[in-house]
Copies of this chain bind each other. A is one copy, B any other.
């Protein structure tokens, strides 16, 4: 595609005309990208620009899974064979035991500006001012949205740099947009009152869409846990292995192997499951990065059964806003029964439980005696 004079794609009035232009210029056909059912006009400027169509991700269904007595079907969007089947197998083992227990703790979504101060004394002054004006700053935040509340403020500083991490409750929205706008108002106030300049409203002390120990240790969004006890007979019949072998793999792979690699992920494949749910339900896919941080543990109990648990310290999700209103994504949330307000906590727990199911099943297939056959049965490369 050389030496052509391209028009500005922004100026085309519709996705069809953009596709036509690309098809003509590139001598290709975009007949599948042209297939979509959402209303083009509603998305523009909200979810996308320069629209040419849609990417279709195959959507499978797993479940039901028994989560604390409640049953859920789980929509999973993926292009990798065996993932849905594998998660489903994990759910079967869970359901034949007592179901998954889950727990959740709201940490809040954060925005972390960086201020340039004159040095360490100035940084301390600004820090002290912010601490003593927490209520007023929260007031400013709440004026930008009815759904926001400032939960806490953390600091880091060195040299001429002051980093401030504002963490908010944003109800059922993932909330990055809300907290950006709220933090902007707060930052303006700080700049004025403390004679300090904000270099960047987002100063990577948030820290958003990057793997970081800050989020692992102090959490972001929601911390969620899931655990299950699987009877040894179920481990044998459904998972084709033993609690002892599963515990050993978690120990040698998820703990020691991740230590050997300098990782922040002490698990087998959280990211596969998190990504599949995030795509299906209109979450921010870049947040798979921190959403998939966490730890898997497994222990053989004294009675020979298997204790299996997962922990996600930094799960940022929403049931309103962002991509959740897109038609196919919204339907997926309805399958889960968590569409709309008042549902984010439940959604977080479902994600944790599903992650556990997927983690359990993969580790079991790694534990099976003949890896080759496991491989053929559960797809190529599903490790």
Contacts and interface: CB of A to CB of B under 8 A. Distances in A.
Interface SS of chain A: mixed
Contacts of A227: 119-120, 159
User: Lowest 4 CB-CB distances: which A-B pairs, in order?
Assistant: A204-B257, A79-B323, A210-B265, A213-B262
Interface string A157-172: 1111101000000000
Interface string A41-71: 0010111111111111111111110000011
Interface stretch (A135-143, A230-238, A327-335): A327-335
Contact residues on A (Cβ < 8 Å of other chain), bracket:
35 or more
Contacts of A103: 120-121, 124
A149 interface: no
A4 interface: yes
Interface in A256-271: 256-271
Contact of A257 (B26, B112, B181, B380): B112
A56 B207 contact: no
A99 interface: no
A131 interface: no
B59 A4 contact: no
A188 to B, nearest CB: 8
Q: Report which residue of A114, A210, A274 has the largest number of chain B beta carbons within 10 angstroms of its beta carbon.
A: A210
A183 to B, nearest CB: 9
Contact of A78 (B6, B47, B288): B47
Q: How many copies does the complex hold?
A: 4
A351 interface: no
A61 B297 contact: no
Contact of A252 (B35, B57, B203, B286): B203
Interface string A114-135: 1010011100100000000000
A295 B61 contact: no
B381 A73 contact: no
Contact of A47 (B55, B79, B267, B269): B79
B335 A22 contact: yes
Interface in A214-249: 214-218, 225-227, 248-249
Contacts of A45: 81, 379
